[in-house]
Amino acid sequence: MPTYQLRGEVPRKRHIQFRENGTLLTEEVVGLEGFTGNESILYHLQSPCRIRELGAFKAIERDEWIPSAHAHRHFRTADIPAAGDAVTGRQLLMWNADVEISLCRPDGAREGFYRNGEGDEVIFVHEGSGVLETIYGDLPYAEGDYVVVPRGTTYRFAPQGPQRYVVFESPGLIEIPRRYRNAYGQLLEHAPFYHRDIHPPTDLRTHRERGDFEVTVRVRDGYQTYVLDYHPFDVVGWDGYVYPWTFNINDFEPITGRIHMPPPAHQTFAGRNFVICSFCPRKLDFDPLAVPIPYHHSNLNSEEMIYYVSGNFGSRRGIEVSSVTLHPSGIPHGPHPGLAEKSIGLTETHELAVMCDTFHPLRLTKLAKGMDDPAYAYSWYEEDGAAAPSPEEDPAGVTSHF
Ligand SMILES: [Fe+2]
């Protein structure tokens, strides 16, 4: 999506004969929006339609938790058990018609291959590194990466070391915000990242291997398994704009100001009715009268989910690394009592967090119920004279957003 890329061998023109050892290769156009969106053209050794066996279809079941009260929520996710692989290990936390947000701590690699046939994916790598092996080539990833996987990409994770992800999946497109790009797609000077920060697949490895290869494809709100008789990564070359890529959160260049910058300044991705933002270490507001932490706000039609990646959140009551907060629509939220006053004079913050704002309500799963901190809804309440939380031990630990 970010720029034109080419890997391996492709013919001089599209849609002309392209042979290997006299055999005509199979050209596949992988495109969006009925041949009017971005596309890539792949050249296969075998037809990608060659299914030897149709496997089972398994519908997705979501175990919903409907809380008895509408309130701000805090979920402690650090101890979520490791399970499954990078796909089967996704544990749905919240969702709506536009986005599903899952946590994942895989405890092993996957034998077979996976393809999301009905959604784009952004996988935030909180812990771990490895290689996402894809039909477009190898995509190395590391801690702090957003791994962006467009729909239709066949892949398999090759993880190295313990892994922990937050996974966003959407039936809509997940894109770089339009306002960051010019009419030709180039990232503008005011954008908080540039093309050099975006990493497409490195090496294309063409697999010439017969056998049984299982590919699980997410379609129609379920998982369909197919068995192919040839390795799915049989591409000798491809070019175009559709491919997976990574962007590291630490390459996000924070935008700061004399007075408070609103969350859109931190936007990293645009989805259908949602955004993903990166809150990174940065200098805080520098006006002599600035209040460095945010004003209370009622985002009346937004739901605000934040995943706390690193930093000292001690001044935010009960929040720890891997915590998730959800500030739902319809009610106000803001800094805890006393913090606005105590933040005055702070010059920087060291926190790192990922936020997803949705424009329609999110539903919760029973997983969320099991990790719910019921005290959080009351954490703004104080008996008269009670002590405010103190950021003094680590002033830079004051949570500077939400
Ligand atoms: Fe907020």
CA of 302 to the centre of ligand 1 (A): 9
Distance between Cα 242 and ligand 1 center (Å): 33
Q: How far is the CA of 10 from the centre of ligand 1 (A)?
A: 48
CA of 264 to the centre of ligand 1 (A): 11
CA of 355 to the centre of ligand 1 (A): 9
- Name the amino acid, one letter, at 390: S
Cα(220) to ligand 1 centroid in Å equals 34
Q: How far is the CA of 402 from the centre of ligand 1 (A)?
A: 3
- CA of 295 from ligand 1 middle (Å) equals 9
Q: How many whole angstroms from 234 Cα to the centroid of ligand 1? A: 46
d(CA 210, CA 229): 6
- Cα 89–95–97 angle (5° rounding)? 125
> CA geometry: angle at 251 spanning 245 and 252, to 5°?
100
CB neighbours of 17 closer than 8 A, spacing ≥ 6?
A: 11, 24
Q: What is the Å distance from ligand 1's center to 244 Cα?
A: 30
> Quick one: pLDDT at residue 110?
83
> Cα of 173 to ligand 1 centre, how many Å?
24
Predicted TM-score (pTM) of this structure: 0.95
- What is the distance in A from the centroid of ligand 1 to the CA of 178? 23
Angle at 365 between CA 305 and CA 379, to 5 degrees: 50
The encoded tokens of residue 318 equal 């009960």
Task: Classify each residue of 240-271 as buried b or exposed e, where b means 16 or more C-beta atoms within 10 Å of its C-beta.
Answer: bbbbbbbbbbebbeeeeeeebbebeebbbbbb
Distance CA 177, CA 187 (A): 10
| Ligand 1 center to 304 CA (angstroms) | 6
CA of 213 to the centre of ligand 1 (A): 46
What is the distance in A from the centroid of ligand 1 to the CA of 297? 6
245 C-alpha to ligand 1 centroid (Å): 29
Residue 340: count other Cβ atoms within 10 Å of its Cβ: 18
Q: Which contacts (CB < 8 Å, 24+ apart) does range 187-193 have? A: 187/2, 192/252, 192/253, 192/254, 192/255, 192/265, 192/266, 192/268, 193/247, 193/251, 193/252, 193/253, 193/268
Whole-number Å distance, alpha carbon 361 to ligand 1 midpoint, is: 15
pLDDT tens-digit profile, the chain (402 residues) = 579 999 999 999 999 999 999 999 999 999 999 999 999 999 999 999 999 999 999 999 999 999 999 999 999 999 999 999 999 999 999 999 999 999 999 998 888 999 999 999 999 999 999 999 999 999 999 999 999 999 999 999 999 999 999 999 999 999 999 999 999 999 999 999 999 999 999 999 999 999 999 999 999 999 999 999 999 999 999 999 999 999 999 999 999 999 999 999 999 999 999 999 999 999 999 999 999 988 999 988 999 999 999 987 655 668 899 999 999 999 999 998 888 899 999 999 999 999 999 999 999 999 999 999 999 999 999 877 555 454 444 444 445 555
99 CA to centre of ligand 1 in angstroms: 19
Give the pLDDT confidence score for residue 41 in this predicted structure. 98
CA of 333 to the centre of ligand 1 (A): 7
- Using the mean position of ligand 1's atoms as its centre, give its distance from the Cα of residue 236 in Å: 47
Ligand 1 centroid, distance to 332 Cα (angstroms):
8
Distance 121 CA to ligand 1 centre (A): 24
Cα-based distances in Å from 136 to 155, 172, 312? 9, 21, 39
Q: How far is the CA of 334 from the centre of ligand 1 (A)?
A: 7
Residues 129, 162, 310: CA angle, nearest 5 degrees: 75
Taking the centre of ligand 1 as the mean of its atom positions, its distance from the CA of residue 154, in whole angstroms, is 36
Distance 303 CA to ligand 1 centre (A): 9
Which pLDDT does position 299 carry in this prediction?
83
In the 3-class helix/strand/coil scheme, how is the chain assigned residue by residue? CCCCEEEECCCCCCCCCCEECCEECEEEEEECCCCCCCEEEEEECCCCCCEEEEEEEEECCCCEECCCCCCCEEEECCCCCCCCCCCCCEEEEEECCCCEEEEECCCCCCCCEEEECCCEEEEEEEEEEEEEEECCEEEEECCCEEEEECCCCEEEEEEEEEEEEEEEEECCCCECCHHHECCCCCECCCCCCCHHHEECCCCCCCCCCEEEEEEEEEECCEEEEEEEEECCCCEEEEEECCCCEEEEHHHCCCCCCCCCCCHHHHEEEEECCEEEEEECCEECCCCCCCCCCCCCECCCCCEEEEEEEECCCCCCCCCCCCEEEEECCCCCECCCCCHHHHHCCCCEECCEEEEEEECCCCEEEHHHHHHECCCHHHCCCCCCCCCCCCCCCCHHHCCCCC
Alpha carbon of 294 to ligand 1 centroid (Å):
8
Q: pLDDT at position 312, please?
A: 72
